[in-house]
Amino acid sequence: MTQPIIEIGPLQLALCLGFVLLAGVTSFSYKLKLEKDLFIGTVRTFAQLFLMGYVLKFVFEVHVSWLVLLMFIGMVAAAVHIIRGRVSERSIPFVIPTFVSMIISYTLVTMLVTGVVVGARPWWTPQYFIPLAGMIVGNSMTAISICLDRLFSDLKARRTEVEMKLALGADYREASQDILRAAIKAGMIPSINSLMAVGLVSLPGMMTGQILSGTDPLIAIRYQIIVMLMLVASTSLGALVVTSLVRKRCFSAAQRLLLR
């Protein structure tokens, strides 16, 4: 028997603040100095999610393609901004190629999932496109951050080896192929680990949300399988394209390593 959906009101949300209070007490007791971050993070969580809720409600009601795509571009721009903050390297301009490659790659992947796999008509239907695109961008953001950080750190650490290969006549691709491969692999490992653990160690957010909203668990599971496979594909594609483009910018036209 399907249980009715339980509405979450202001009282329930207020009660949840007790969890943050517990974390704050722990921070204060052990002098972790995280109280300010916990407070700011909690306020931002409430503000950002409620704002997003109203935005999504408006987008769903208006139901126009350009607004959906504009929202998607905004999500990618926010992800690139976060990536820029996580990657410490500043001598190599990686923001623009990252943004452009994410827009192209993830638009194609999301179109394929919504229009072909799920079968939404039209393919940009906000109810499907925005949540799926958000999961793709969010997961790939972490992977790309790891890839770029690994790429830059390995190029610096193995500078002598790379420059020796360049001096012997190798181009930048040949001189840094192992480094590129290691960077892409590092970015893909978290997604592969999620594949291994899903259903046994964790119940993913989308599946849990659907079940809580009253969806048949078997239907929720099918959607989650689509999402997990979609995320692995998008993560690998994003890691490959972004890292390859940025690697090229690490070398001059004269095949000289620019990183310092």
pTM for the model stands at 0.83
Mean pLDDT within 9-23: 92
Same domain, 131 and 235: yes
Q: Is 3 part of any domain?
A: no
137 and 164 housed in the same domain: yes
In this prediction, residue 212 carries a pLDDT of 74
27 and 69 share one domain? no
| C-alpha dist (Å) from residue 99 to 76, 86, 104, 118 | 7, 15, 9, 26
CA distance 239 to 141: 9
Domain end position, chosen among 62, 89, 104: 62
Q: Which of helix, strand or coil describes residue 91?
A: coil
228 domain residue, yes or no: yes
Cis amide bond preceding 126, omega within 30 = no
Instruction: Write out the two tokens for 30.
Output: 């052990």
Examine the domain organization and report whether 53 and 103 are in the same domain.
no
75 and 144 together in one domain: yes
Looking at the 3D structure of the chain, how many domains does it have? 2
**Structural domain boundaries enclosing 43:** 9-62
Which residues does 86 contact at the CB level (< 8 Å), separation at least 6? 145, 149
In this structure, of 76-80, 119-123, 211-215, the range with the lowest mean pLDDT score is 211-215
Instruction: Indicate if 179 and 105 belong to the same structural domain.
Output: yes
pLDDT in tens, 133-181: 988 898 889 899 999 999 999 999 999 999 999 999 999 999 999 999 9
Do 55 and 155 fall into the same domain? no
pLDDT at 224: 85
CB 83 within 8 A of CB 242: no
Same domain, 112 and 238: yes
Residue 187 phi/psi, 5-degree rounding, is -70, -30
Q: Are 200 and 102 in contact (CB under 8 A)?
A: no
